[in-house]
Chains A and B, each alone.
Chain A
Amino acid sequence: MLQPNLNNEKELLLLISKSDEQAFTRVFDFYRNKIYGLALKLTHSTTVAEEIVEDVFLKVWLRRATLNEIENFSAYLFVVARNETYKILKQIAKNYKIVLLSENNESLVHNNSEDHLIGKELTSLLQKAIERLPHQQKQVYKLMKEEDLKRGEVAELLQLQPETVKFHLAQAMKNIRTYCMLHLNTIGLMILLSALFEIVK
């Protein structure tokens, strides 16, 4: 059913339960792609999938003291991954409509209300999302949305096919969107919506 375990998993788990960071890194490297794959399939966002990997392994590390008592580590790991992924998926689902709506009004793209205390915070959430984009997506996004370049111009500048530029932008939007959907329940929520309110008003 699952891939063969690490050869010396039992020993590694014992070491991890004693806070051995190297041992943990080995286990992390062995399992991370599978967790990442699961997360990616469910969120379609590389940014959020990376967050999920971190959340899952953080939980394991925080509970490391009892790790050596676990009979089947991979089963345990996947239960943690499943529960964490469910929580995040539900959070994204809850904010799904809000973010989509704001996007249609272009307010997610750029908010220039500098005088509004809120505007600054929206910019901050947005900036965080942009910062976490993979390199090419970040480049394309900034050139198109911040520098206002056209697709053809970006393609020439980056030596890419226009179709590729279109793809990167779409992926970037998807990543930003999903990141916002996940983190909207903290400061972002009312910020994003205040931007909406500006438009509705």
Chain B
Amino acid sequence: MPASRLEYLFNCYVQHNCSEKEEEELMNLLSRSENEAKVKKLLDELIENKELEASMPDETAPSILQNIFEKDKAQVVTIEKKGSVFTLWMRVAAAVVILFISGTACWVLFKNKDKTTAPVALSSAKPSPVLPGGNHAILTLADGTRIVLDSIQNGNIKGGNANINKKGPLLVYDGSSGFETNAPVTYNTLATPRGGQYQLVLPDGSKVWLNASSSIHFPTAFTGNQRNVELTGEAYFEVAKNKEKPFHVNVKGMQVEVLGTHFNVNAYGDEGNIKTSLLEGSVKIKSGQASGLLKPGEQAILGGNVNKIEIKKADMSEVMAWKNGLFQFDDAGITTIMQEISRWYDVEIVYQGEIPVRRFEGKISRDAQLSDVLKILELSDVKFKVEGRTIVVE
């Protein structure tokens, strides 16, 4: 949207000169992260306006001050992101909340864990329910041994000279035991299938959350003056600080260099690109001849041109939704949504006829049954037929 349209709508809204439709259009623009800089500039211009004062009722001033002093004493910080409060509520209420908004349709479905879900007639035959994903992964050792992690007990795993410990959905590599510097470095690979996810602690203490259909290839000890890992699919990293040993994530010819930081790499290639999003710290992206520096809240996109890195602001809660147990879409097309669903529920997607152009926005718990998710999508005029493990989109 050209800045002038936003400016026009903003100004007429501020002057109470907007029609309902114009106000709705403005709100739509305001909700988008990419307009942040422009909106903030408009706010700055508004602030310069001398006639900005309005009389706040005098009675409210003392109570506001009182609230401020009390909140400080109670050490309640009211400033944080509301997204995390939403997730917390979900666990507390022990219910599955699904929310989906699209176009003019808008509704919610509740599933109480104590009640049974109403049967959904999606096809004439009664299909076996398609379950959501879970903590599944396979560890491949240096000698080629494959260990299916979900089927073994917690405890130590024999893996060459590495100290590996499994604790539920978490694999921990203990790098504190001494290594002979002359011993050859061995590599392991942790891979998740479709419908899987897993967590890993690398030998340097860095934490990795692996999404479905992904893999990470790493050494059992970080000898040398660098820490290098290879990624396919998607993972979120919290890298342990070590200025002497920069941490590198290699993805399909692109390299992410970090110095102790929190970031997410999405290398599925869904929209033909690789996205690296930074939450905290500092990250350098290198690809071909190009390189770029990321600041927190920014995302680097590597598309078809290997020498071109695009950096822009992105909605971190949307990027991190998968790690927090949610699907979250902000203005996403149906193909993006179906791709995530396909990986998590391990189903195939087939499109019949034209792909619907609708844009979707919403949050769904990743614990939801596939049938529930599709029920919601159907309300937005998209039809599905489920045949075994294939979803046909009409």
Contacts and interface: CB of A to CB of B under 8 A. Distances in A.
Contact of B78 (A24, A58, A97, A98): A58
Given A25-B65, A54-B64, A57-B64, A97 B43 contact: no
Given A25-B65, A50-B60, A54-B64, A92 B27 contact: yes
B304 to A, nearest CB: 32
B54 A36 contact: yes
Interface in A8-60: 21, 24-25, 28-29, 32-34, 36-38, 40-42, 44, 49-50, 53-55, 57-59
Nearest to B20: A100
A73 interface: no
B52 interface: yes
A126 B54 CA distance: 26
Interface residues of A, number: 56
Contact of B89 (A44, A90, A186, A197): A186
Contact of A49 (B39, B56, B65): B56
Contacts of B40: 82-83, 86
Interface in B157-198: none
A6 interface: no
A1 interface: yes
Number of chain B interface residues as a range: 35 or more
Main secondary structure of the interface of B (DSSP, over half): helix
Interface stretch (A143-151, A156-164, A187-195): A187-195
B83 A97 contact: no
Contacts of B57: 134
Contacts of A21: 65, 69
Nearest to A196: B107
B309 interface: no
Contacts of A92: 27, 30
A53 B16 CA distance: 21
A78 B27 contact: no
B67 interface: yes
Interface string B42-77: 011011101011111100110011011101100001
Interface string A160-201: 000000000000000000000000011101100110110010
Given A55-B79, A58-B78, A90-B31, A187 B89 contact: yes
A133 to B, nearest CB: 12
A186 B78 CA distance: 13
A191 B316 CA distance: 25
Contacts of B110: 118, 190, 194, 197
A134 B56 CA distance: 11
B97 interface: yes
A189 B85 contact: no
Contact of A29 (B29, B53, B61): B61
A200 B65 CA distance: 43
A85 B42 CA distance: 12
12 contacts: A24-B65, A32-B56, A33-B54, A37-B54, A40-B54, A42-B14, A42-B43, A53-B56, A57-B64, A86-B36, A90-B36, A200-B379
